[in-house]
Structure 1
Amino acid sequence: MKALKAMATINEEGQLTLDHPLLNDKNSRVEVIVLIPEATDPTQSEILSDFRQAWHEAMTGQTIPVSQLWDGIEDD
């Protein structure tokens, strides 16, 4: 068995629509595993926004020395 990765959308009837057609092994049955992102997973726009904020802070000197990162954290 070989694996292919494809993105798809679940419609209101619960059916999958692939973003792009699969070009291999037409007219054959397949096994499908659906991975649904958790609500807490960040979106691409959230990741990009966080990166921009971090880049701005780095470029404007709003940083913390590495030596201070663990200050106040107790060993368990």
Structure 2
Amino acid sequence: MEPLNGWVRGERFSHGGNVPDNPGWSDEQKETVDRMWVEIRQLSIAVAGHPHWKSVPVGVLVQARMQLKLQARPAEVAEAA
């Protein structure tokens, strides 16, 4: 997020190459990240507090939430043969 001075290989780390200066994020990028985190928190609260979860038996609640999490992830693209 913040500007960072680069360094020359071997100056700090011997395993990598040269690292250029990083100008940091713009104000627009910082605002976008902040906005997205607010949205993520709101959506998390909406999902976790949804009335549906009261209908799920306690013994399978964690398994049901994990299943929802897995279904929400994008499917892996099969490699071309």
Q: Same fold (TM over 0.5)?
A: no
Which has the larger helix fraction? 2
Q: TM-score with structure 2 length normalisation?
A: 0.35
Q: TM-score with structure 1 length normalisation?
A: 0.37
Which has the larger strand fraction? 1
Higher relative contact order (CA 8 A, sep 6+): 2
